[in-house]
Amino acid sequence: MPFEIPNDLLREWRSFYKRNEESRNTWLSKNEELIVSKNFKDSFYQKIDHQIPEKLSELKSKHFNDKTNCASRKSSELTLNLISNYQKNLIGGSADLTGSNNTKAKDMNVITSNNFNGNYIHYGIREHGMAGVMNGIALHKGLIPYGGTFLVFTDYCRPSIRLSAIMNIPVIYVMTHDSIGLGEDGPTHQPVEHLASLRSIPNLTVIRPCDIIETIEAWECAINNTGPTILVLTRQNLPMLQKDNRKENLVNKGAYKIRDFKEYDATILSSGSEVEIACSASNKLFENNNLKIRVVSMSSFELFEKNDDGYKNEILGNKTIFAIEAGVINGWEKYIKNENFVGMSTFGESGPYKDLYKHFKITDDYLIEKIIKTL
């Protein structure tokens, strides 16, 4: 039998628009000249202010010269402070974690029930609702929505994140406290499987930067992306790992050699806070064992896979590959053998983050031991 909708139900649903018809007609009447103006569409749908690329380049230079050491959630805030000065159609928010997510730029004003003139939303403890609202804003067009919570709470956002990806719309998710590195809040708040879970969603770009330079570049990638992006950021401080004051956005490539040798013995792939551990292991292996180990910062699987085979082969090389990340192995198997992974296989524990890294053997010493044993 064909599917039938009762006429009374159909009439009810089709009349819902009438509730706001008067408000809509008033708006259209008030803005009639604006809507038909020649430049309305270009200005309303403008994606990126033309000044932003150069301003972000200047911001990178400043922090490279200052050797800025801070959590990537703080790096994100510093970047937002700049972007919001130029990108006036940016609309931010957080699910009751603004102070922890660092998602409110200095010049942003909070939207309230009595004042819609702001550009920042306090969503309350409703991660799924926040993600759903951001989808609606992106579908409406004209505004660039972003919102934050802890990475572990992407579980609550997931249906809407998935819809962002299905519709391929430009929503930016700012997910902080990205690993056991958040410390004392314990396993309920420490994400271990979430990176793998998010990387498995088609059309979703997941970026986990290793320092302030990569965080700035990650934001540039996010605001240029025509689809959804998740920025995965730390609670703990990260050192400056860059050796060159570069203009090129290397995060856009998804992976690049952050420590290199002309002739080398093996490669370590890593992301986020564990790139520092990989670099430390490489330095010690060279000094103490004369082993030359390349380190690749792989901030985004999705962006890396968009490169041509020549670039991917250059990054992965033809020697043994190891990987280290404070999460489960799922997804890394594409690039490494299971036994060459250093990461999590259980839930976390409560304690100071440095103690937790030692407890779970996500350390340069353990990585060194594995490399020496394998080679």
Q: Which of 33, 77, 127, 274 is catalytic?
A: 127
- Residue ranges covered by each domain of the chain: 52-238, 251-374
Q: What is the pLDDT of residues 181-229, one digit of tens each?
A: 999 999 999 999 999 999 999 999 999 999 999 999 999 999 999 999 9
Whether 45 has a pLDDT exceeding 80, the answer reads no
Q: What is the pLDDT of residues 57-81, one digit of tens each?
A: 999 999 999 999 999 999 999 999 9
What residue type is assigned to position 236 of the chain? Q
Instruction: For residue 338, give both structure tokens.
Output: 């299971």
Q: Give dist(CA 268, CA 296) in Å, integer.
A: 6
| Number of alpha carbons in the 13 Å side-chain half-sphere of residue 6 | 3
Q: Give dist(CA 264, CA 1) in Å, integer.
A: 68
Which fold would CATH assign to domain 52-238? Rossmann fold (3.40.50)
What residue type is assigned to position 294 of the chain? R
44: confidence class by pLDDT, cuts 50, 70, 90? low
Instruction: For residue 285, give both structure tokens.
Output: 């292996």
pTM over 0.85: yes
Instruction: For residue 334, give both structure tokens.
Output: 């594409």
Distances (CA, A) of 114 to 75, 97, 110, 118, 132: 32, 22, 11, 11, 22
* Short-list 297, 200, 223, 260, CA closest to 47: 223
Whether 39 has a pLDDT exceeding 80, the answer reads no
What residue type is assigned to position 310 of the chain? G
Instruction: For residue 272, give both structure tokens.
Output: 């986020």
Report the pLDDT value the prediction gives residue 198, as an integer from 0 to 100.
98
Query: Is position 127 annotated as part of the catalytic site?
Result: yes
109: confidence class by pLDDT, cuts 50, 70, 90? very high
Strand order in the sheet with 120-122: 110-111, 120-122, 90-94, 144-150, 172-176, 229-232, 205-207
Report the pLDDT value the prediction gives residue 46, as an integer from 0 to 100.
60
Q: Give dist(CA 125, CA 365) in Å, integer.
A: 40
CATH architecture of the domain with residue range 251-374: 3-Layer(aba) Sandwich (3.40)
Do residues 83 and 91 touch, judged by C-beta distance below 8 A? no
140: confidence class by pLDDT, cuts 50, 70, 90? confident
